[in-house]
Chain A
């Protein structure tokens, strides 16, 4: 049997300290926590930075390093620093060194790197080794090379290599959410379907149970399946909460693709062992012939400046979308007239919060609210152009009349200045897989000994 302790769904979301102590007392074979996701958008990958505060990350990581020392088992973090680029891994390594010095313990740290050279990926694309997943954007070599960061998602093969170094702590770059949990059970010959399925159930911590905020869960893997137990007071796993977790953030609730194959939970059976633990058997792992790893990439998508006005005048609230469309037309014409730019160098958009900001033309509820917010979004090729156009948009949002006959209106600005520069924005550019002959070919492993 292999016992995996998962402190929470992500480092930075905090965990229940009492529940963690219970987990340590249960003598886990490994402590595994996820450090990231694409869920907060492309900026983190584009810049190669963490979304969480360094101070919060350090406090939570120090607690886990202490727990690891007490449990005498390895501690692994996957997708370190939100995006799992080499820069985010180095940030995490730096925090780890600081804590190690403060805790005064010698440590062996394995670092698994997932960053890819855009030029190397462009070359692999040219050789037919990069293929699209469903709803992938159109790409070419130039677009790949324009990415500021590309990462490959490591699977169990690469995490197993890192475990084999005998490290106390593994800081991994981008990995699949499941790989860090499934690796040790698979290495110890636990049921493959159970290892992957248990990892998927556990990757969000206690989200698979009641009291999901509590974080901490224990998963026992064996040769038939797995058992999941949330450890916080008042947290219970039931066959319903566990099986329903396969719905979460999965486009397919039965099939989960991973490097080297896929998990099929169609035949899974969920049984309550008591009112807290659930036993799962019958999940199946189907190995693939070809070994692929998913790629994520982000590239610059222009510089943004946003402005916001509040509209409370009933006549303008009612006609706010016509008003906004008129501003976009007139302000765009003014930009083309006054600046040496073309129509492809910028976009101006105004979204009406209170009416169609969420769904645009797909909105079906056309009720008129008492007030609306008008958010102006300028996206341009350069920072200075973005701010210049933002300043041109300012007087329209402040004073633009619906008709020339009426008195010039004034709308509420929240701030001075009204323009809020957002700097460089990024977009996700890849939804593809990279075909590998050797799973380690796209990854690098290094070991640091801290005396």
Chain B
């Protein structure tokens, strides 16, 4: 049995810089049902492992009125540093969208 990926449940997952030192990922679930599924099945520590971040540094917001789960974390590399791969933090969402829940 294959587990569903986040992108199979949520409508859209996007990521963006929140300043040069933070990355923020918005999960637009689309419906209250999808929101509830993401809320319960998406584990904060699993997200931290996915990005190689420390769990206690992740900020998680669940906004039922928007059906949005938002996760902010220290950027995997500071924006524009020589080890950075993504100036605008645009692609990092794909890693989460493809995570199995």
Contacts and interface: CB of A to CB of B under 8 A. Distances in A.
A362 interface: yes
Interface string B69-94: 01010111011111001111001101
Contacts of B61: 252-254
Interface in B5-38: 16-22, 24, 26
Interface string A355-366: 001111111110
A360 B85 contact: yes
A302 B81 CA distance: 11
Interface residues of A, number: 44
A134 B58 CA distance: 12
Contact of B66 (A42, A243, A357, A365): A243
Interface string B42-79: 00000000111000010101010110101010111011
A358 B81 contact: no
Interface residues of B, number: 39
B4 to A, nearest CB: 15
A302 B80 CA distance: 12
Chain B's interface: helix, strand, loop or mixed, by majority?
Answer: loop
Contact of B80 (A41, A248, A365): A41
Contacts of A248: 16
A349 B82 CA distance: 10
B65 to A, nearest CB: 7
A347 B26 CA distance: 34
Interface stretch (A142-150, A279-287, A421-429): A421-429
Among the interface residues B74, B80, B87, which one has the most CB atoms of the partner chain A within 10 A?
B80
A244 interface: yes
B80 A240 contact: no
B14 to A, nearest CB: 9
Nearest to B52: A362
Contact of B24 (A251, A347, A358, A364): A251
Contacts of A41: 79-80, 87
Interface string A327-360: 0000000000000000000010101000001111
A249 B16 contact: yes
A56 interface: no
Contacts of A358: 85-86, 91, 94
A347 B83 CA distance: 11
Contacts of A137: 21, 78
Given A135-B57, A359-B92, A364-B99, 14 more contacts: A42-B20, A134-B21, A240-B66, A243-B65, A244-B66, A250-B18, A301-B82, A304-B82, A351-B85, A358-B86, A362-B95, A364-B50, A364-B95, A377-B82
10 contacts: A39-B87, A135-B75, A247-B24, A247-B26, A249-B17, A249-B19, A349-B82, A357-B85, A364-B95, A377-B82
Across chains A and B, which 6 residue pairs bring their CB atoms closest together, nearest first?
A251-B72, A41-B80, A251-B18, A42-B80, A135-B74, A428-B20
Interface of A: 38-43, 133-137, 240, 243-244, 247-254, 301-302, 304, 347, 349, 351, 357-365, 377, 379, 425-428, 431
Interface of B: 16-22, 24, 26, 50-52, 57, 59, 61, 63, 65-66, 68, 70, 72, 74-76, 78-82, 85-88, 91-92, 94-95, 98-99
